[in-house]
């Protein structure tokens, strides 16, 4: 019998409206994930949540454009999700009591996928995921076209069955988000609303 996990990707203040890299619909997704998990918690053996957690005063190996440098919004970004700041905290609409394992990523380096993260006790995420015997993964969060995409592809590449719940994600731009979902579907990832 397989074990199911929910990945909640980067539902943080800096990625929601008003944040350093806020996406439209981010706050709504935070609230909707909370509603979803309250209704479906018994369907998951473990819930993981990732956060970008970048090092203050560092370009994080070229990921952050420190002033006066200008970000290109492809490989370099404005300062965001700096460890210990309000921007790096979970959005207040996300109820963190449902989360079993918290994962931090991007400490001094670029990191889009939850698979590049570490738990608070310093263990690599893939090791922790394996220790839970997870075979099936649902992915929700922000941003569809970056960290959700990378996390879902890595989960698929790790040999697991993966779904992205399309009503519980928000992306940077409509075109790149649609392209991300199309790529995921082409790679064998399930792409469907949570009601399906």
Catalytic residue among 14, 32, 105, 145: 105
105 has catalytic annotation:
yes
- Separation CA 139–CA 151 (nearest Å): 8
Catalytic residue among 10, 32, 52, 145: 10
- Separation CA 187–CA 22 (nearest Å): 28
Give the residue carrying structure tokens 């309250």: 38
Radius of gyration of the chain (CA): 16
Give the residue carrying structure tokens 């992205």: 164
- Residue 47, H or E segment: strand 46-52
52 has catalytic annotation:
no
Which 8-state DSSP code applies to residue 34? H
Buried b (16+ CB within 10 A) or exposed e, 33-42: bbebbeeeee
Give the residue carrying structure tokens 């889009």: 112
Catalytic residue among 52, 147, 154, 156: 147
Which residues participate in catalysis according to the annotation? 10, 105, 147
């Amino acid at each position: 019998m397989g074990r199911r996990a929910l990945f909640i990707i980067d539902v943080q203040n800096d990625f929601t409206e008003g944040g350093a890299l806020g996406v439209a619909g981010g706050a709504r997704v935070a609230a909707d994930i909370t509603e979803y998990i309250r209704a479906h918690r018994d369907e998951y053996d473990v819930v993981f949540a990732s956060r970008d957690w970048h090092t203050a005063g560092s370009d994080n190996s070229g990921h952050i454009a420190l002033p006066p440098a200008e970000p290109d919004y492809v490989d370099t970004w404005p300062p965001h999700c700096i460890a210990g700041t309000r921007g790096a905290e979970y959005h207040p609409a996300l109820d963190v009591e449902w989360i079993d394992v918290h994962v931090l990523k991007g400490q001094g380096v670029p990191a889009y996928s939850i698979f590049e993260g570490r738990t608070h006790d310093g263990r690599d995420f893939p090791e922790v995921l394996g220790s839970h015997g997870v075979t099936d993964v649902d992915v929700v969060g922000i941003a569809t076209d970056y960290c959700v995409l990378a996390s879902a592809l890595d989960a698929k590449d790790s040999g697991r069955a993966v779904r992205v719940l399309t009503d519980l994600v928000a992306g940077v731009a409509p075109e790149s988000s649609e392209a991300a979902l199309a790529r995921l579907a082409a790679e064998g990832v399930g792409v469907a609303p949570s009601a399906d």
